[in-house]
Every structure is written in C-alpha cells, then in structure tokens.
Amino acid sequence: MLALSLLLSLLGTAANAAVTVYTNIPGVNAPISTSTAAFAQSTGNSAYSSLVLVAPDPPIGLQKDVPIILSTTTPAGASIGQKGSFLGFSVELSIADAILGYNSTVLNPPLLNYLANLKERAGHGPTVRVGGNSQDESAMFDTTFTDAFGHQRMIQKWRVDNGNPTETPNINFALELFYTMGNISALVDADWYFGLAFDQPFNDSNAMTVARAAEDILGKHLIALQLGNEPDLYAGHGRRPAEYGIPEYFTEYSHVSCAALATKPPIPMVLAPRGMIVCCTWTTLEVIQAGYLQQFGNWINTIGVMHYPANNCGLSGVINPQDIFGNYLTHKAAQTFVENYLTTAPAVLDAGLPFVVLETNTASCGGFPGLSDSFGSALWGIDSAFALAAMNFSQVLLHVGGQSTSYNPFTPPPTNMSKDHMWTTGAVYYSTLVVAEAFGKSNASQIIDLNLPSEFQPGYAIYENGVPTRVALINFVSDASGASDFNGVISFNGGTVPDHVSVRYLEAPSVSEKFNIKWAGQNMGSAIFTSDGRLTGDVETVIIPCDQAANNCIVPVKAPSVALVFLSDDALHQSSPENEASSLTFATSVYTGKGQHPIIDPAILKTMNGDGGTGPRHTGSTSKGQSMQQLGAAARNAAVPAIVSLFALALGVMLVAGRG
C-alpha cells in the first residue's frame, strides 16, 4: 500500500499543474483548446484570455419609457419562496484543493471572502457542490498526499485511458477534504452537495464509506449526496455496455440505495439524501416517466440536472464566440433555457422535491473566451437565474473549472505564481451578488417575470409575504451614447407608490467589458490577479423620489446595466450586510512557507473542527473497495492525520505557517 501511495503521489504531482477537467458531452473528442484556439488571444490560459469581443449593434426602435405595473398583492403565477442563496457554485472534484485550500488548516482566504459576500446579503452561506465527472472514478483514503513541494494535499489525480473523451483524470481524495469543507461551513455557513463514485455500482463499499464520512463530518451542512454524474453518457464514453439505458441505471441505482440502508448502522435517509443528475441523451422527464419517483421517491430529496445553453466541445467544428455573442444578450436566452423544463418542473414540484441545476454556465467545455468572461455573461447569469427561479427551480450552481476555463466566477492563480499575484474575479460572479440582494434574507421571495415587451429590456418583480419588495430591470443593449437607455416607470395597481425608492446598479462601459464592472459602486478587481475576494470602493445606493400624485417612480436603466429597485427601506436593509463599512472578510496577510500561499489565520481555526454532525466520526477506507463493515469499530474510531492536525492547531501549534 505504501508503494502504491507513493506511485500515485508521484503521478498526481506530475499531472497536477496541467490537469483541467471538462464537462462530458456526447461525442466530444477534444478539450476546449482545440475548438477555440483560433479565438483565444490569451496569456496561455483561457481563464486569463485577453480576447475582447465587439458588442452587437444597438437594436432600433426600443421603447424609452417602459411601464412596470405592480400588483399590491402577490399575483397568480409567482414562484415558490426562494432563498437569497439561490445562486451557488459547482466545483469539479479534481480541482477542489485548488479552490478550497490545501487542507483543513490551509484554507483559501479569497474563496472565503467570495462566499462571505453572499452570506452577508442572503443571510445564509451559499451552496457549493463538489463533484462532477471526476467523482465517478474517485476513492477516499485516510491520509493526505504529499506533493513535490512537501505540501499535504487532499487530491491526487492521474491520467489513464478510461474511455472518457474529455480525459477526466482518476481521483484519489483524502478524508481531510470533508474537514476542509466543514471548516469552511463553520466560517461562512456554506452548505454542500457531494458526488459519490458510481463506476462500480455493484462494488459500492467505498461510496458507502464516503457517504458515512460526509454525513458525520458535515452534518446539517450536507444537503445531498449525488450518486453518479451524467449516467446517460456512460455507454457513449465506454463506461457501460452499448445497450445501457434507463432500466439498467435503475437496477444499479437500486442496488446502491439498498446498500446504503443496509449499512451498519444504516445511513439515515434524512441525513443521507441522494440526488439524480442527467444531462444530455436522456431527459429528466424521461427518467421520471420511467418510474424514478415511484421507485426511489422515498429515498431521495433532490432532483438535479446539468444544463449548458451552448456546446463548445468541438462537435460541429470551431465556434467563433463573436458569432454567437448576441445570443446571450437577449431575454430569449433565459426563456429558451427554462422552456426545456416546462413539463418537468411541475412534475418535480408535485412530488414535493426541490429541482436544482447542479451545474451550469455559459457553455460546456469551459465556455468561450471573450464571451464567458464578459459583462454580457453577468447579464445572462442574472436573467437566467431569475427565469429559473420563476420556473420554480430551487437552486442554480455556476460551474468553476481550472486554468483553461473561460467561465469561472473566480480563479486562483497558477500554483507557480508568487504571493503578490492574487485571484481573478470573473464577470459572472457579479450575477451572484445581484441575485443574493434581489432575493434577500427572508427565504420567502416569490419571483415573477413581468413579461416586458422588448427582449432587450426584461424585468422581474419580487414579492415577500404578499407585498412587492423589489424590481429587477435589465438592459442588454451596449450603447455608450445614451440613446438606448430606458426608464422603468413603476406604478402600483390598486395602491400608491412610496415617496422614494432605492436603486443599486450593476454597470459596465460595454457588454464586452471584463473587469471595469461595478455593483453598487464596488468592484471585485480591476484586472487579472488583483482580487482577494473582497469588494472595494464605497457602496452607492441611488435614492429616487417618486411622484405619488402621478403614482409612479421613474428609474433610469443605462445601456448596459441592471437596476435593482428596492421599494422600501426595509427591503434594502434586508438585502444588505449588517455593516457594509466593516463586512466580514478574511485577511490574506498570512502565508505558508515554501510556496508562499496565502492561508487563513490559524487563530481563526482554533475552535473550528469541521464537525457539523452529531454522530461519531468515522474514518474512510485506506484501501479501495474496503467497506465500513470491514473496517470495524477500532478502525472507524482511529485518529487520522486530519484529526491530529486539528487538535494540534487547537493547542496553539503554529507549524502550519511552514507546512502548506
């Protein structure tokens, strides 16, 4: 076992800096660099592409004054109650350590800041999914893995010829990963989805061990365990026989569910919910119509889908992002997104289950340079989130990829860069800030599409407890002349407007802009490698007097921008950090030794042990295929390195500063 671990460590280290994982799409035979190389005028990594697209020409004949007539009570057709944490993040398992931190004591402060920004606006930490294609051939080990720099890492990965067209690496991960996730939850109240391996469904002992560990350590912060990722692609990728279909999937799924219930002690259904996700060749509706809810409805608590609005996997040759840029800059994009689920969403809702988009972004296989990292992607993200919320989806998670991915909400610097280089904030991250403030902290926000006449000027109303509280107006047009600006003329049907409204704007000079983006006057970084996850600048909230005699409030919406209108001071307060002048942030002034990586101050972690559960801690298997039953009580209660490191830290040992 020692020799095997050493070999895997060396293989994982060799592949570490270069590995990028892409989403599986039917028929894909090349990574993103093949399909978009002609358009990526970049620094070498798509995450830092310098390509700037040309904004589409402004449309002609746009309405200057757009009536926004609000009911004074919640109208028919409004959504279920939504949370401010509606938008979250999906992190590929293979890069979890790059995003979350090296281990439970070396967390990434910028990541904590990105998450804390949302917690302070939504009243609850965001949801993060760890999984994806790399979960299916993963295995958990007790110990961490030492890389070439002496760092204790949670992830090992290496390339094998496993028939996967996207060259997804095989993954070993350490039990330490769950303690890392638990520490993040203790600091920013994050919740989690985690993906279980499904490559050997009739030899599921490692998956059961992982499920037990996730439950015991994460406790209430574990929303669901995702069993299998995109099973509709297994046959096409050579991971199942060619005839593999929904019936075969049900048989395998049933075997694992029975194994979970037969575990000693049984994995509780309340604490061990499972979810289903398909993406491409089966539809969720087909799986439901085949009897999924009837057969497994008492065992699951989530129905999940993966959906990208465009395919950049090279299936039909090279796609020039300039040619399709305009497709994202219209309300039709969001409408097309939700039309796929007009029948499915009600069926899931009728079953009493939340419907979740576990993975999405602007395009599959890493997105499009110049498009996925533009202000236009932020507008698309906001419109799509509102449309999905209005359709009664419960949550949407934006995928986070590696250095060769264009659509990242945030990207850590390459591992060989110095401490002076920081993270890069993607334009789509701003979508999460706007949506968090729009939905607020009540967990009862009901969303309705106002169905405004122009596809370039969509709008939504938000109702809480039977009254309108906010209005969101989007201007997709890029026009610096001011000719395409419009006014949202808000009036109340059956009531009188307030004496004033408060407005916060998301704005940029152009839909093509990458970094000169401001939300309520604040910015997340003016260029690549300039962000630590904290907003900079003063908060700007525009107070607009209303004309109560005319019963209207006139809200200007520049081209391009988003205007979030707060209809009362209380609504504004409920969407804002308690003290915007001193919001919760995590310093990046503490660094590790050799690699000079910023870490969370160990003093903050002294009382954080990642134990969100109420049951005993169970360690994972040290061998692939070894089940919890086989480990026995002594092994389950053994002290593993993750636990030792946390106890050492609690005693004040500061060795972490030279170890990470």
Q: Identify the pLDDT of residue 20.
A: 22
Q: Distance between CA atoms of 423 and 110, rounded to whole angstroms?
A: 7
**What element of type H or E holds 256?**
helix 246-262
* Per-residue pLDDT reduced to its tens digit, 260-274: 767 666 554 333 344
- Mean of pLDDT values over 66-95: 97
Q: Mean of the pLDDT values across residues 317-341?
A: 94
pLDDT band at 375 (very low <50, low <70, confident <90, very high): very high
- Please provide residue 448's backbone torsions phi and psi, each rounded to the nearest 5 degrees: -140, 135
Closest C-alpha to 520, from 434, 398, 414: 434
Burial of residue 589 (CB within 10 Å: 0-12, 13-18, 19+) is exposed
Q: What is the DSSP string of 206-239?
A: HHHHHHHHHHHHHGGGEEEEEE-S-GGGTTTTTS
Q: Is pLDDT at 356 greater than 80 in this prediction?
A: yes
Cα–Cα distances (Å) from 170 to 158, 177, 221, 247, 313, in that order, read 6, 16, 27, 27, 21
Least confident of 8-22, 230-244, 486-500: 8-22
pLDDT computed for residue 365 by the predictor: 87
Does residue 444 carry a pLDDT above 90? yes
Q: Where are the domains of the chain?
A: 65-69+446-582
Q: Are the CB atoms for 76 and 114 separated by under 8 Å?
A: no
pLDDT at 27: 25
Query: Is domain 65-69+446-582 classified as CATH 2.40.10.120?
Result: no
Residue 352 or 134, more confident: 352
8 Å CB contact between 126 and 88:
yes
CA angle 212, 9, 617 (to 5 degrees): 20
Query: Which residue in this structure is represented by tokens 């040759």?
Result: 317
Mean pLDDT of 466-490: 98
* Bond into 560 cis (ω within 30): yes
The model's pLDDT over 294-307, given as tens digits with 9 standing for 90+, comes to 888 777 888 888 89
- Exposure string for 53-71, b = 16+ CB within 10 A, e = fewer: bebbeebeebeeebebebb
Lowest mean pLDDT among 196-200, 379-383, 398-402: 196-200
User: Could you tell me the CA-to-CA distances from 277 to 183, 192, 229, 249, 373 in Å, in that order?
Assistant: 27, 16, 6, 12, 26
As a whole number, mean pLDDT of residues 449-457 equals 98
Residue 296's pLDDT is what? 81
Locus of tokens 């707060």: 566
Tens of pLDDT, residue by residue over 555-567, are: 999 999 999 999 9
Contacts of 352 (CB under 8 A, 6+ apart): none
Question: Over 50: is that where the pLDDT of 109 sits?
Answer: yes
Which one-letter amino acid corresponds to residue 151?
Answer: H
Which has more pLDDT, 202 or 360?
360
- Under the banding of pLDDT at 50, 70 and 90, the label for residue 317 is low
Query: 343 with 396: CB under 8 angstroms?
Result: no
